[in-house]
């Protein structure tokens, strides 16, 4: 009597599982890229996930994303953070929904520093993004 292998699941079942795995993988990768301060790569992953974007955003690790963004702000690369926040907002995602409260705290400190040093031009752009 030949031993038969179990039937493979229906094709559509595989597709949804693969899609869920892919979105989870992309969220993990996007979180790690942001933690490594590679924001352009992070945005590229968001842009490439079209219809799964809201699911992907829900799976992001806010601690990792926040760690990378806070690191950039502390390095004085606020302009880069603002640029990426605008790109993210353009995708229909509230930028601060990707982060935890640490980003707001660090950004607030940086804004205060810029005001104290008289760099008001930079402050206007950052306040606009923070209000968004």
For residue 111, what pLDDT is reported?
A: 82
116 contacts: CB under 8 Å, gap ≥ 6: none
User: Residues in the chain, how many?
Assistant: 132
For residue 86, what pLDDT is reported?
A: 93
Average pLDDT over residues 4-33: 72
When the pLDDT of each residue in the chain is averaged and rounded to a whole number, the result is 83
Residue 4 lies in a domain: no
Q: Under DSSP, is residue 93 helix (H, G, I), strand (E, B) or coil?
A: coil
Q: Domain residues for 68?
A: 11-131
**Residue corresponding to tokens 């799976």:** 59
Which pLDDT band holds residue 119 (cuts at 50, 70, 90)? confident
For residue 102, what pLDDT is reported?
A: 95
Average pLDDT over residues 9-23: 61
Residue 2 lies in a domain: no
pLDDT digits (tens, 9 = 90+) for 91-108: 999 998 999 999 999 988
Which pLDDT band holds residue 58 (cuts at 50, 70, 90)? very high
End-to-end Cα spacing for the chain = 68
Residue 3 lies in a domain: no
For the chain, the domain total comes to 1
Which pLDDT band holds residue 11 (cuts at 50, 70, 90)? very low
For residue 46, what pLDDT is reported?
A: 93
pTM of the shown model: 0.75
Residue 18 lies in a domain: yes
Cα–Cα distance for residue pair 104/16, rounded to 1 Å: 36
């Amino acid at each position: 009597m030949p031993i038969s292998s179990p039937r493979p699941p229906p094709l559509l079942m595989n597709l949804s599982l693969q899609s869920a795995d892919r979105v989870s993988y992309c969220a993990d990768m996007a979180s790690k890229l942001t933690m490594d301060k590679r924001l352009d790569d992070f945005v590229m992953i968001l842009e490439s996930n079209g219809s799964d974007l809201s699911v992907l955003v829900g799976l992001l690790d806010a601690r990792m994303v926040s760690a990378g963004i806070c690191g950039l702000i502390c390095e004085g690369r606020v302009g880069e953070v603002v640029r990426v926040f605008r790109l993210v907002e353009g995708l229909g995602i509230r930028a601060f929904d990707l982060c935890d409260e640490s980003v707001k705290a660090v950004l607030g400190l940086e804004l205060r520093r810029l005001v104290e040093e008289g760099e008001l031009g930079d402050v206007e752009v950052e306040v606009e993004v923070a209000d968004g």
